[in-house]
Amino acid sequence: MSEPTVDSSRMRTLVHSDDLDETREIISSAYSPYELRVLDNAQGFSAWYAEGGFPGVTLSALSYGAETLVAPEPLTSYLLVCQVVHGSVRVLSPGREERVVDAGDTYVLDPYRTFRVHWAPGARMTTIRLSRDTVERAAADALGFEEPVRARFTLGGAVSSAAAGTWAGISAAVQREVLDGGIARTSPLLASQLTRTAAAALMEAHPLITPDPEIRHTGAVAHPAVRRAMQLIEEQADQPLTLSDLACAARLSPRALQEAFRQHLNTTPLTHLREIRLERAHRELLAADGDGRVTVTQIAYRWGFSNLGRFAASYQHRFGNPPSQTLRT
């Protein structure tokens, strides 16, 4: 029995066997307890399983050499994004959905229901495992909720070809880090960023089932998030803040933060930042002596206005006179 053509030099092989009971025991320990049955040609059964990863992500590779049924118990604490790399599998959630997944396609197994997966002989798959907590926080960001959200997914593929391409790129980056021995293993910051990016990309790429109606939406809970962004603006308005910086402070996705600002302040985060900077520049111009030691250019640059003409126009629109006149007052 030969291993699948996957560069496993950076992965740990846990199963390379034609023993059904041994395979069931080891993979149950790696994932969760599950039923494993050979449906046809028991003599042809074989299994190969290897895994690797970095903090926050586990990458696995798995192959069965005979027609096989896998029926795991609910995953409970994690989620799997599965990509078929050879052959096909038929995955179903009893009484709900069923889908045949061919090579190159992906599907998601979430922690909240049971699944059955029928493997065609020789099918191979890779999985990216993310913790339930990571995915639930990403779902909250994507949907504009303050608290973590039960992230339940349909068995459908990516929502569009563009989304599929984005997920493929993120998945490839994760696999490179594992298979090529990247620095995510030893860099907690990079591991954390890549894990969050993978979870955020998953939210955009695969169809979520609408959350339970009792979960409060942005309209009910966005004030704390908006306040967090506003606090960062108040404290660091002179710094080169980006929408991503504000969203990170708010613990929302950039899109959700923009929606929250529109709903509660009838503006956008960057417009609010610009208004605060204008106000700070106005205060400095009023406080300056006008003796030439302080210039409009210096104050404009200090508050992030690199285009002096645009600064002057915005300032006059806001305060009714040009900044040079305020400085001379």
Using one digit for the tens of pLDDT, what is the confidence trace for 90-138? 999 877 789 999 999 999 999 988 899 999 999 999 999 999 999 998 8
Here the CATH number for the domain that contains residue 26 is 2.60.120.10
- For residue 66, is pLDDT > 50? yes
Residue 220 has a pLDDT of: 37
Residue 210 has a pLDDT of: 58
Residue 46 has a pLDDT of: 94
In-domain check, residue 245: yes
The continuous run of DSSP H or E covering 284 comes out as helix 269-287
Average pLDDT for 227-248? 90
pLDDT in tens, 153-205: 989 888 889 889 999 999 999 999 999 888 998 899 999 999 999 999 998 89
- For residue 3, is pLDDT > 50? no
In-domain check, residue 3: no
Same structural domain, 158 and 192: yes
Same structural domain, 301 and 189: no
In-domain check, residue 53: yes
What are the angstrom distances between the C-alpha of 17 and each of 9, 23, 25? 18, 7, 12
Average pLDDT for 297-315? 90
**Pairing relation of β-strands 57-64 and 47-54?**
antiparallel
Same structural domain, 182 and 135: yes
Quote the longest CA-to-CA distance of the chain.
94
Average pLDDT for 271-287? 92
- For residue 233, is pLDDT > 60? yes
Same structural domain, 91 and 191: yes
Among the candidates 164, 183, 205, a domain finishes at: 205
Of 141, 139, 161, nearest in space to 150 by CA? 139
Same structural domain, 55 and 121: yes
- For residue 275, is pLDDT > 60? yes
Residue 204 has a pLDDT of: 86
- For residue 269, is pLDDT > 80? yes
In-domain check, residue 88: yes
Same structural domain, 187 and 284: no
Same structural domain, 259 and 280: no
- For residue 264, is pLDDT > 70? yes
In-domain check, residue 313: yes
Instruction: Answer yes or no: are the C-beta atoms of 199 and 138 closer than 8 Å.
Output: yes
Ramachandran angles phi, psi of 128, nearest 5°: -110, 120
The C-alpha atoms of residue 267 and residue 245 are separated, in whole angstroms, by 17
- Residue 290 CB: number of other CB atoms within 10 A? 12
Residue 102 has a pLDDT of: 96
Same structural domain, 115 and 183: yes
In-domain check, residue 212: no
Residue 194 has a pLDDT of: 93
Average pLDDT for 14-28? 92
In-domain check, residue 213: no
List for the chain the helix, strand, coil content (%; round to 5): 45, 20, 30
Q: How many domains does the chain have?
A: 3
The C-alpha atoms of residue 11 and residue 217 are separated, in whole angstroms, by 41
Instruction: Answer yes or no: are the C-beta atoms of 173 and 201 closer than 8 Å.
Output: no
Same structural domain, 112 and 186: yes
Residue 108 has a pLDDT of: 95
Same structural domain, 138 and 245: no
Instruction: Answer yes or no: are the C-beta atoms of 195 and 56 closer than 8 Å.
Output: yes
The C-alpha atoms of residue 194 and residue 58 are separated, in whole angstroms, by 12
Among the candidates 162, 177, 205, a domain finishes at: 205
DSSP string, 16-56: EES-HHHHHHHHHHHS--EEEEEEE-GGG--EEEEEEEETT
- For residue 72, is pLDDT > 60? yes
| Per-residue buried b or exposed e for 134-162, using 16+ beta carbons within 10 Å of the residue's own CB | bbbbbbbbbbbbbebbbbbbbbebbeeee
Here the CATH number for the domain that contains residue 305 is 1.10.10.60
Domain span at residue 254 reads 218-267
Same structural domain, 294 and 147: no
Instruction: Answer yes or no: are the C-beta atoms of 327 and 296 closer than 8 Å.
Output: yes
- Residue 31 CB: number of other CB atoms within 10 A? 22
Average pLDDT for 35-64? 92
Same structural domain, 247 and 296: no
Upper half-sphere CA count for residue 54 (Cβ side, 13 Å): 25
In-domain check, residue 91: yes
Neighbouring-strand partners of residue 62:
49, 125
Tell me the pLDDT of the chain averaged across its residues: 86
